[in-house]
Amino acid sequence: MNQLFKPLNKSDFLPLSFKTVSKNSYSFFNLRFKVGAFIFLLILLFAIFGPMFSGYTYDEINLESKNLPPSKEFIFGSDELGRDVFTRFCYGARISLSIGLIAAIIDLVIGVVYGAVAGFLGGKIEELMMRICDSLYAVPYLLYVILLTVIFSPGFVTILIALTITGWINMARIVRAEILKIKNQEFILAAITIGASKRRIIFNHLIPNVSTTVITTLMLSVSQAIFTEAFLSFLGLGIQAPVSSWGTMICDGISALYYYPWRLFFPAMAITLTILACNLIGESLKSSFKVI
């Protein structure tokens, strides 16, 4: 009875563009998005074009110019073996961004398909699939990653495997929860009624309708992956010398912090800004999707 006599809400009839709560929150979203995207693109440019202009390679050792402060010759200074910090910084950006993006995309593919299938099929299959998730989720994520780096030799591929082996679970759980919310709506019922196959419903109807949540989660898993790579490299379990990563650069920088602070400053700044950028983009997307 309550449902029948519910008063109509005026805002239901307004076109979509009027529904954004207020101009103020919209511009705040825009600012966050712009700042985040600007930082992200800047780091991306450094990663792609930086090594071309620096005139050094990341492992070029020059013992005559050790630990120089930033100057014209070495924009970001040089480290204890006379390597150019700027070049190593750009290679670090390559490693971080590629690990972040590749890991997030693999998580996305596995997680979305797994979550959507579990959510749509329901019943015993869903129960089983989610129990598998739960039991994998009970073990702390970083313990897995560390154990895996013990088994395989540390390096780029190992980090990637370690990140994706557990990373998709979060995505799968979120996608499943979203699917459960929409799978009883009329358009799905309509699709079933006209005889669409299960595969078509999942891939053409359900997954596109959870894309907002997926994109938000994707940005957060990028920042998670970038952090984990730097964390592992910092502990000496990730990217190995002579290849540079922000984590190893920070680890080296700390040991010479007192006399040569610039060796720590640039990679530390970079990783903080990159994670901040991903978070800002993710947050602004989330709040904008919530409004609509």
Angstrom distance (rounded) from CA 144 to CA 169: 13
Which residue ranges make up the site for another protein (CB under 8 A)?
Answer: 134-135, 138-143, 146-147, 149-151, 173-174, 177, 216-217, 220, 223, 227, 230-231, 234-237, 247, 250-251, 253-254, 257-258, 261, 264, 268, 271-273, 275-276, 279-280, 282-283, 286-287
Nearer to another protein among residue 24 and residue 193 (C-beta): 24
Nearer to another protein among residue 117 and residue 264 (C-beta): 264
Q: How far is the CB of 76 from another protein (least distance, A)?
A: 16
Q: How far is the CB of 233 from another protein (least distance, A)?
A: 10
Nearer to another protein among residue 164 and residue 213 (C-beta): 213
First vs last C-alpha separation in the chain: 29
Chain Cα centroid distance, residue 19: 29
Give the list of residues 6+ apart from residue 26 with CB closer than 8 angstroms, or none: 20, 288, 291
Three-class secondary structure of residue 84 per DSSP: strand
Angstrom distance (rounded) from CA 263 to CA 178: 45
Angstrom distance (rounded) from CA 112 to CA 218: 11
Q: How far is the CB of 288 from another protein (least distance, A)?
A: 12
Q: How far is the CB of 57 from another protein (least distance, A)?
A: 26
Nearer to another protein among residue 133 and residue 188 (C-beta): 133
Q: How far is the CB of 145 from another protein (least distance, A)?
A: 9
Angstrom distance (rounded) from CA 2 to CA 187: 24
Owner of token pair 């959870």: 210
Sign, CA dihedral 133-204-99-31, equals negative
Nearer to another protein among residue 20 and residue 272 (C-beta): 272
